[in-house]
Structure 1
Amino acid sequence: MSLKGKAAIVTGSTSGIGQGIAEALAAAGADVMLNGFGDADAVERQRAGLERDHGVKAVFSAADMSKPDQIKAMVADAEAAFGKVDILVNNAGIQTVAAVEEFPDDRWELIQAINLSSNFYAIKAAMPGMKARNWGRIVNIASAHGLVASPYKVAYVAAKHGVVGLTKVVALETAQMNITCNAICPGFVKTPLVEGQIGEQARANDMTEEQVVRDVILASQPSKRFVGIDELGALTVFLCGDQASSITGTSLSVDGGWTAR
């Protein structure tokens, strides 16, 4: 499937799921704007590698996804670099694990800002250009936790449920404009975010990390294996192609059977 001639933004793409999706889009021929935090030299190696390996144009934005003005500027910068934004992948996310009554207020606000509100602001900024060209693909990386809940993840679950609702509204508003908006809902993927959760759960429950993976992290995932980042990249590429033009407003579970229960 070719996305040659298309231009994409992938938020939170300097590591983990976002990095894999950016790689997959570039491999399909799309120009890509990376976004995220991390070591400047490592980010530059990633950016240059996309150009070298796939013959596309790649740029980087350090926009903070908790800041609406920076999100708006990121989209404007991508439009200036590529001439347009055809594809928007909202992937940036953070996590904190705590009981409701102990959940830090500042972490609640930050998780809502990065995991949910950033999607809204990025879509709002990219939408006028997509409508003007009568073509666009929006992929929001939600979570199995956008469909079901788990204890101690109140902010994350609330935000990801919000992402699923946002996806549906955008899809309805753009259904006749050749613009699609879908949510991918992964189960557990072995990313730095999940690795951090493993350590937190181990400390909180006086367990080994191996016990946490087997009895806590993957307890709800019938496949008993982590979802592959390459699987999520391939699905994103498919959703961005013309073959998926009638798929919109959906929440696609990639969770080893978790939400089939």
Structure 2
Amino acid sequence: MALRGLSGKVVVVTGGGGGIGSATCLRFAAEGARVIVADIGAEAAEKIAAQIRAEGGEAQALQVDLTDYEASCAAVARAEAEVGPIDILVNNVGWDLFVPFLKSEPDFWSKIIDINLRGVLNITKPVLASMVARKAGGRVVSIGSDAGRGGSSGESVYAACKAGVIAFMKTLAREHSRQGITFNTVCPGVTETAMLESFMEAAGDKEKLRTAFTRAVPMGRMGRPDDLPGAILFLSSDDAAFITGQVISVSGGLTMHG
């Protein structure tokens, strides 16, 4: 059975050009949503949008640097003018490297914060303002991380940002629930993406780390990008209309929060 309320909806997925983002774009398209693949890489975004169109879906690429507030606002205005009002926003974009805190420097902190926290703020504000003005409800799902729930060695600033995203979603849920807009967070565990590969390269002894990650997961494997869209789409659907301010981990049992 298809999830209710996704067909025909306009959805923006940030970081949609790869990993969890591209898997999510493809699943939204399969449910009949009109997908805007937002990414800093124009070529990566267009590749996924073209794949969706080739499979009979509706999609277009949107190149945007989410660390730039004015560019984010302009991109939202352009998307709504060309495609239509945004019904669903998935804040997926993220980046990290393995750097113990005492070996990190403020320039690195700024980059991590700009991408993982400020980028969420920059795109959410114009999308949310449009949702509120239309009085038609909406869905915002942010991709957090279990690092933001339980900490993660070598990811201090990233974990702080993801904890911030979780708190940001909970606060917006309190501020806007009466307007029919829901805000929830999906937290991946260790997931096989390009970002994880870069993280393990920076940490050194990549294969040893891969083995350790795999052994740590009760289900016996690391996550894959295709493991995440189910939870993301559910929280974006009418089936989750009475769910807001919540956090769900998709981690194979690596973390189990009550």
TM-score between both structures, scaled by the size of structure 1: 0.91
Secondary structure at the aligned position of 2:178 is classed as coil
State the AA in 2 paired with 1:241: S
Question: How high is the sequence identity, in percent, across the aligned residues?
Answer: 33
1:210 is aligned to 2:233: no
1:109 is aligned to 2:121: no
User: Does the 8 Å contact 2:223/2:251 carry over to 1?
Assistant: yes
Distance 2:119 2:140 in 1: 13
Q: How does 1:29-44 map to 2 (within 5 A)?
A: 29-38=32-41, 40=43, 42-44=44-46
Q: How does 1:81-230 map to 2 (within 5 A)?
A: 81-131=82-132, 132-201=134-203, 203=204, 207=205, 209-215=206-212, 217-230=213-226
The structural deviation recorded for 1:38 is: 3.9
Distance 1:190 1:77 in 2: 33
Question: Hey, what does 1:68 align to over in structure 2?
Answer: 69
Question: Hey, what does 1:13 align to over in structure 2?
Answer: 16
Distance 2:183 2:34 in 1: 20
Distance 1:73 1:38 in 2: 17
User: Does the 8 Å contact 2:215/2:221 carry over to 1?
Assistant: no
Question: Hey, what does 2:57 align to over in structure 1?
Answer: 55
**Greater CA deviation, 2-11 or 134-143?**
2-11
Count of matched residue positions in the alignment of Structure 1 and Structure 2: 253
Distance 1:179 1:43 in 2: 27
TM-score between both structures, scaled by the size of structure 2: 0.92
CA RMSD of aligned residues (A): 1.6
State the AA in 2 paired with 1:34: V
User: Does the 8 Å contact 2:189/2:252 carry over to 1?
Assistant: yes
User: Does the 8 Å contact 2:17/2:47 carry over to 1?
Assistant: no
Where do 5+ consecutive residues of structure 2 fail to align? none
